[in-house]
Amino acid sequence: MNEACNILLFNEDDICKNSSLSLEICRNLLNRLSQSIGYFNSKFPNTFQDPLNSPWDYNTLFEKPILKFSRGYLVPLMFLFPTVLFDSFQFDIFKDEKYKIKYDAIRYKWLEKKTSTLLCRVFPKSHVFLNPKYPNGEEICDVLVLFDRNILIFQCKSKKLTLQARTGKSFKKIKEDLEKSIKDSLEQGVRAKNYFNSTNFPKIVLGDRETTIDMKQVDSRNIFLISVTLGQFANITTRFMNLEPDLKLFSSNEFPWAVCIFDLEIITEILDKPYYFIHYLLKRLAIEKTDFELTADEIDLLNYYIDKRLDFNYEEFKKKDKKLPYLVGLSNYSKEVDEYMIRKYQLIENPKKPRVNIPVKIEKLINEIDQLDISYKTKIVFNILNLKFEELEYLLENIDKIIEKARKDKKKKDKKLPYLVGLSNYSKEVDEYMIK
């Protein structure tokens, strides 16, 4: 312990020197974030008094992550520090009832704007709309994306899990927190979805102009409800059906994709093409229909999408005995994404971005399809992305055959006349394979 202290201890002067902040500011910061051994928060007087309840007790390191000794200061759990900086000062603000109202409005607006900004990484800015309204002036949703026969409805909620819910001490608190965040946003999204489906030509107000959506050009199955949260819900929202029999939150049996804004930031950086993003969304929602429980966080699932496009149709995922509960665990599957983010943002390197694991030729084909000016191009890409690896290889073989035949047939009899190469119904071999 003494050797560790000699290496890891620091004092006010060290912070002052390395941060260029005044000594007074450094002292105030350390006073707020440090605790002496034996410190207890007066609001939690029974902390660590009952061994049976201690796993759910309030840990003062989440409030004051720095330990204070006579010779200096020590950070025992460095990985907690970013979380504490993000959360702890917020509770200081909550103590000021007058400012809390203003703060709630500010962070909600920030969440909306941040969501819109992140989506503009993926979709053209002209397809992303902040605070669209019904003709009567009511807000439809926080952010709306209209892209190639797809409608994405985003509702933002700044509610976070309470301590009792986060530690799992109170199931009632978990349900209350989910009702105030995910359920409320889902109900708002369902209302918007019903409005779009209520007529062939619904009117909406985007900025200062009214526009009409032709629902005949929209795939009604691809109106997506997404709840963006400020707080991390971890495994709770990965698959709602894990808890829905007990929670009974979603009476319509329709589930949103609930994603934390900081996970969305990573997802939009990795899956920065519309077809990848929407395909990931489709596969995420399909998890609710699996016949097994799933434990994983959002980035685990993102990494599994990169690896196997969130495909669970493999032998190892099949339930052996339908009478027994079946659990699939993907916890800590996020190695590739984690490594990329650490190297880029902590080590300030220029790492290669993880790419979806498909053949390079297929990736080029998808990019070419994406450049086409047709309304079904995203659907076409989805069909390709849904193929397994061996099916993709088979598709490539037949595409090469088609191209080679077209080249051989390209001799024109009269160069002055237009020339058409017909390949309609040439898919017989591929069709037979896919049917089998």
Of the candidate ranges 134-148, 201-215, 231-245, 373-387, the one whose mean pLDDT is the lowest? 231-245
pLDDT of residue 235 exceeding 90: no
Tens of pLDDT, residue by residue over 131-177, are 999 999 999 999 999 999 999 999 998 877 776 666 666 778 888 88
Per-residue model confidence (pLDDT) at position 417: 46
Q: How far apart are CA 30 and CA 418, in angstroms?
A: 79
- % of the chain at pLDDT higher than 90: 49
pTM beyond 0.75: yes
- Positive or negative torsion for Cα 88, 91, 96, 102: positive
Tokens linked to 305? 């999408």
- Please say if the pLDDT value at position 418 is more than 70: no
Q: What is the tens place of the pLDDT at every residue in 388-404?
A: 988 998 888 888 787 77
Mutual angle of helices 261-270 and 298-308, in 10-degree steps: 20
For the stretch 352-380, pLDDT in tens is 999 999 999 999 999 999 998 888 899 99
Confidence at residue 413, expressed as pLDDT on a 0 to 100 scale: 46
- Determine the Cα–Cα distance for residues 20 and 73; give it in Å rounded to an integer: 19
What's the whole-number mean pLDDT along residues 199-209?
93
**What is the dihedral sign for C-alpha 213, 219, 225, 226?**
negative
* Structure confidence at residue 402 (pLDDT): 76
310-352 confidence digits (pLDDT tens):
999 888 887 777 766 678 889 899 999 999 999 999 899 999 9
What distance in Å separates the CA atoms of residue 355 and residue 303, rounded to the nearest whole number? 10
With both helix axes pointing from N to C terminus, report the angle between 97-122 and 261-270 in degrees, rounded to the nearest 10: 10
pLDDT at 230 over 80: yes
* Residue in this structure with the two tokens 């819900």, named with its chain if needed: 233
Average pLDDT value for residue range 53-66: 86
pLDDT confidence band for 56 (50 / 70 / 90)? confident
Pairing of strands 203-206, 209-212: antiparallel
Question: Structure tokens of 181?
Answer: 């965040």
Q: Is the pLDDT of residue 414 over 70?
A: no
**Between the CA of residue 6 and those of 1, 2, 53, 72, what are the distances in Å?**
9, 6, 35, 10
Give the separation between CA 238 and CA 8, rounded to whole angstroms.
Answer: 38
**At what angle are helices 261-270 and 274-286 packed, to 10 degrees?**
130
The phi and psi torsions of 46 (rounded to 5 degrees) equal -100, 15
